[in-house]
Chain A
Amino acid sequence: MRLAILDNGHGFGTKALFAFIRTVSRQPVLDVVKLVKYRPGFYGNPMSALTQEAMRGPSTWSVGDRELMAAFVAKTIHCEFCTKAHSAVAQKAYRDGKNVSAVLSDLDLTVIEEPLRATLLMLGKLTREHAVNADDIRAVLVAGASRQQIEGALAVCFSFNVIGRLADAFGFSVPGLEAFEAGAKYLLARGYR
């Protein structure tokens, strides 16, 4: 990472935790974990609470839908780390890896529910162009998404614009598939707390 403090500036207890994670998972500690555990009172704790609410709080979007939105937003901002990480979680949540890859490759050609497709299109435009207008939102409502669902999707978008930008800015390492698989299992079982 571009800041040495994020690699090795943690306290003794956190370093011991990282050693435990490496031993049990037989995988490197993901840089996203190192980030949230560095001075956690500043960023990691309040951001984890926010992300838990967006990704696992009450919603009529499924966990898979929200993880797919996270991967889609990450892909839109060209964040390889978060795209791979949250594709892996969405694939496990849906038990359908093929469709997740298809959505990320070409949303127009993939068969998914219209409210989800329209929502992803809106999140993509917002993230790419830094703007959406009332007509863009009406298109999502017409497709069948509720106001609450749009608010929920915007919460996911907030989280992953933050995390994806930080992953790229701080220079997260992108590990192999096995590390993302282990991370996906953890996130499905334990969430973001």
Chain B
Amino acid sequence: MSPKKSENPDFLRSAVADRANRLSPSGIRKFFDLLASMEDVISLGVGEPDYATPWHISEAAVRSLEKGYTMYTSNSGTPELREETARYLHDRHAVDYDPYGELLITVGVSEAMDLVMRAVINPGDEVIMPEPYYVAYPSCVLLAGGKPVLVPTRQEDGFEIAAADIEKRITPRTKAIFIGYPSNPTGAVMPKDKLAAVAAVAEKHNLLVISDEIYERLVYGGAVHTCFSSLPGMKERTVLLGGFSKAYAMTGWRVGYAAGPREIIAAMTKIHQYTIMSAPTMAQVAAVEALRNGEDDVAEMVADYNRRRLFIVEGLCEIGFPCHDPKGAFYAFPNITAAGLDSETFSEMLLREEKVAVVPGSAFGKTGEGYVRCCYATSLAEIEEALNRMKRFFQRHRRK
């Protein structure tokens, strides 16, 4: 189906606001279009669990629909879910949030991220964040009128952000540090001491910290995730973003939360109230069930992801795509420079020639160039076949 030509293109082009025009269109649109047109592709390009939501969680939502729980909830989210979330954060991270004032239930972390930026950013405020970044981070800052300031992170440092690199970029306009560990796309997990160093910088320069911890449960090989707001003195300057999508395989439910200082949560709630009203009611019911009875599911899925993680990382390294040990999320981030192709060309040719989809690292910022993101939340058989094909591809194209 060819797109219909507009009758008044100039008018409609000018109808789009500068704010939307300023957002960089995804640089890899061409690659996505190609992918959509192909059959029988093995995709390592997804960013979500390959499990369906555990049935007891879905069933809780089904039951709630049967009972007629189909109305709006409180703007802040149901009291049950706020209380369970507060209990969870206390039990798991020993950090205490008041479910009445310091917690807001959102439409996934995506909404929470947008809200926090709009709640704290004044035009021209700078937000420092690591690169490679999750694609939405800089855009959220831009939409709020702020300026993303990127801190390159490197493979040799395990893609962990260094406090000194943050400090170098602080200006009088710096408002916040925005981190997201475990990281999409690199799989990096920040060790506690390095986080503490970031905390010290935040304190010294009186900055807010926004910490996206959506992947907190997916850590492996003895790595430990430290909740940023659990660090001494950090709760008062941190907005913690979390959710249910990754740990409980609930991406399509669209439910997450923000936890933070009362003043900021109140500001976020105001925006949320005018733009969203409340997160989906049935999804909130499901999230309560996940928090109450989902621990065994998480443990089982994490054990299974870890097996596949070890398998893909070894496979990629053996082919000749060196890979740092990704201790979290479900991504491997191999270095593909030995193939002599930039990441977008690499991904496009791999797709055309071997029907394997990976995401070019350049999608995640300039420092992502030379890498591709491979998601291992897919069956072992598919990972194995994808690795075979990547090996064949590499042997054909490697730099002589």
Please say whether chains A and B are actual partners in one complex: no
- Chain A residues packing against B (C-beta within 8 Å): none
